[in-house]
Amino acid sequence: MSNRMESRAGEPLKPMQRPEGNGSRDREAARGPGLNEATVQQIYAELLRRIGEDPERDGLIETPRRMAEAMAFLTRGYRQTVKDVLHGALFDVDYDEMVMVRDIEVYSMCEHHLLPFFGKAHIAYIPSGKVVGLSKLPRMVDVFSRRLQVQERLTQQIAEAVEDSIHPQGVGVVIEAQHLCMMMRGVEKQSSLTVTSSMRGVFKTQQQTRNEFLSLVHAQK
């Protein structure tokens, strides 16, 4: 850590990039001098100082390293693609009834606060000659959930990925999640569940198909 960074330790924590600041000049200013050369670990150590902590004390000495590793893990979706994850696990079938995998665990981070949101995803589709290996659907979810997300976009991206992979007659995705940014920040929504859905193809056009899917989502576990 350079002396220059330490001398700024007393300043209040500033956002790295304001969401409303779209100009490149804003971005340049937000990045600050010298940060390009700092390691993620150094940035986290500085962050600990800014919130009033001492990153040198016993309990925190390894924390910047752990934070850097955790962040890399929680955002590993940026370094994965659906194609890699599927790895050719697509199979030809005559079956044309609904295929559903429900209660897929989802862990993601909201892009507004970098706080976790987590819950369950339910994915169904009606094949049109091809199915995905069942174990691949949870891994497809991970590709998109292990990024900074909003729940609505995550839901859409999963539906799109299924659509693009096997071109089914239709696909439906429902995600039910709890957001720590609502629960921890005193927004008084301690137990609320955010539910999002994306319906494509026959799941959008045929009410009967959509209802079948939704009744399976809500069926007793």
* Residues touching Zn ion, count (CB under 5 A): 4
| Minimum separation from the CB atom of position 194 to Zn ion (A) | 11
Residue from 86, 85, 137, 121 nearest 198 by CA? 121
- Residue 48 has φ and ψ, to the nearest 5°, of -60, -40
179 catalytically annotated: yes
DSSP 16-29: SS-TT--SHHHHHH
- Considering beta carbons, is residue 110 or 159 the nearer one to Zn ion? 110
- Considering beta carbons, is residue 115 or 214 the nearer one to Zn ion? 115
- Considering beta carbons, is residue 183 or 214 the nearer one to Zn ion? 183
Cβ-proximal residue to Zn ion, closest one: 181
Look up tokens 């859905």; give the residue: 197
| Minimum separation from the CB atom of position 103 to Zn ion (A) | 24
Residue of 151, 157, 169, 212 marked active site: 151
Q: Which of 9, 47, 181, 214 binds Zn ion (CB under 5 A)?
A: 181
Instruction: Tell which positions 107-126 bind Zn ion, by CB under 5 A.
Output: 110, 112-113
Q: Which helix (H) or strand (E) holds 215?
A: helix 207-218
Q: Which helix (H) or strand (E) holds 30?
A: helix 24-31
Instruction: Measure Cα distances from 111 to 68, 148, 154, 167 in Å.
Output: 17, 5, 11, 30
| Minimum separation from the CB atom of position 114 to Zn ion (A) | 8
167 catalytically annotated: no
In the stretch 149-178, what mask flags binding to Zn ion with x, by CB under 5 A?
A: ------------------------------
Distance separating alpha carbons of residues 39 and 118, to the nearest angstrom: 29
Whether the Cβ atoms of residue 125 and residue 180 lie closer than 8 Å to each other: no
Residues marked as catalytic:
110-113, 151, 179, 181
Residues of the shown chain interacting with Zn ion in the complex, contacts defined by CB under 5 A: 110, 112-113, 181
